Amino acid sequence: YTEEDQIFAYERISKKNNQKVLVISNYQNAEYKLQLKHTFEKVLLNNYGHLEVQGGMLCLKPYQTVVLK
């Protein structure tokens, strides 16, 4: 997601079991829609009560951060 200016995103890979998680943060005071490159199993962390995903499009609220597995 290096081409995205409004978010900060990175992937973490465990050395023990090769498990991957994706961390995405919206640092803007506005909603931001992001087309996910991969599907995810579950939401591990979310600083909002709800995560909106429609057809692979992630809709992040202002200052929302999610960790996806």
pLDDT, position 5 = 82
What sign for the dihedral angle of Cα 27, 12, 49, 41? positive
pLDDT, position 4 = 80
Q: Look up the pTM and report it.
A: 0.88
pLDDT digits (tens, 9 = 90+) for 21-56: 999 999 999 999 999 988 899 999 999 999 999 999
Name 24's bridge partners. 9, 66
Residue 12, token pair as written in the block? 């973490």
Residue 2 pLDDT class (50, 70, 90 cuts): confident
